[in-house]
Structures are given as structure tokens and as C-alpha cells.
Amino acid sequence: MKSSVIVEKKGKTKAAKSQKVGSKTQMGESSVATYTASQDDSSLMDQVSLADLLPSIKESLLFQKSQILNRTNEFKRSQQESIQLSDEAEVASNDLSNNLSIHLHERSMKALLEIDKSLNKIAQGTYGECEGCGDTIGAKRLQARPLAPLCISCMEEREEEVRIKHQ
């Protein structure tokens, strides 16, 4: 039985013919590339350029920003409402709830600043540059963490400094 395997790498398509002999498959002489899931899948992902990912990253950042702004409006409305509380337990419970809301709001504001910073970098054409060393941050890292300001090696160095400082 003969079959064809098509391997696509960097925009070039290569056809490899295989022939099944018994329970083993042998690749013909015209085969240049063989498919190994663990190698080719990761190398194909490495080949995805930042330019290819940028529109989806920008859309994701804008969506996150709109969600945060909506939550901010809800937070402001809830802070303006005055609630008549009858006993000390309700007052204490309400205070805890307000403190948690304030903490979450502050976290959202920090995230909003990071999102705006990333969107500004996209607009300026500097998105994907490491703030530590100036090298390019990998597309896989930016896809996983669109707000990442550092490449992996600079992030590891910073984490090591923090770890040493806290010992």
C-alpha cells in the first residue's frame, strides 16, 4: 500500500511517499522530512511569527481592557450606594466585603495599566521587545502571557535576584 505524507515547513510543502511493508512503513528516497509529533509540532509553533499573532493578541488585550472598565464602573456604583445596616455583625461583614472589593479593584487597575502599556507598545511597533535586554521575546511566550515585559532569561534572572534577596 502506498500513501503520501505532506510536511509543511516555512511555507514549503514537501511530499514524501511511503510504502507499507508488513507492519513497518518505509519512507521512499524522495523523502526529505519525516514527521515526529514532538519535534515538528513545537518547531511549527516556533515558526509562528509575532506578526501573525499580533492581531489576536491586540484583540484579546482590548477585550480584557473593556472587561476591566466595566467592572470599574460596577465598583464605582457599588461604592456610591449607601446601605443601612442594623447591627455590628452586618457592619463588619460589609466592611470586609468593601475591603475585598477595593483590593480587587486595585489589582484590576494595575492590570489595566499593563494592558495600556502593551497596547502602546503595539502602536509604537516595540511590542515583543524585552525591557531588560532589548532582545525579542518569543512568540510562544507572548501568546501565553501577552503582558510579558521580559524574555524568559531576563525573567529568570529577576526571579533569582528576588529569591536571593529574600533569603
Q: CB–CB of 27/4 below 8 Å? A: no
Q: What is the pTM of this model?
A: 0.61
The structural domains of the chain, ordered by start, are 2-47 (no CATH), 50-165 (1.20.120.910)
C-alpha to C-alpha distance for 26 and 49, rounded to whole angstroms: 34
Instruction: Quickly tell me which residue has 472598565 as its cell.
Output: 69
Q: CB–CB of 150/162 below 8 Å? A: no
pLDDT of residue 116: 96
C-alpha cell at 57: 493578541
- At 26-62, the pLDDT tens digits run 333 333 333 333 344 444 444 568 888 899 999 999 9
Torsion of CA 143, 145, 150, 156, to 10 degrees: -110
pLDDT of residue 27: 39
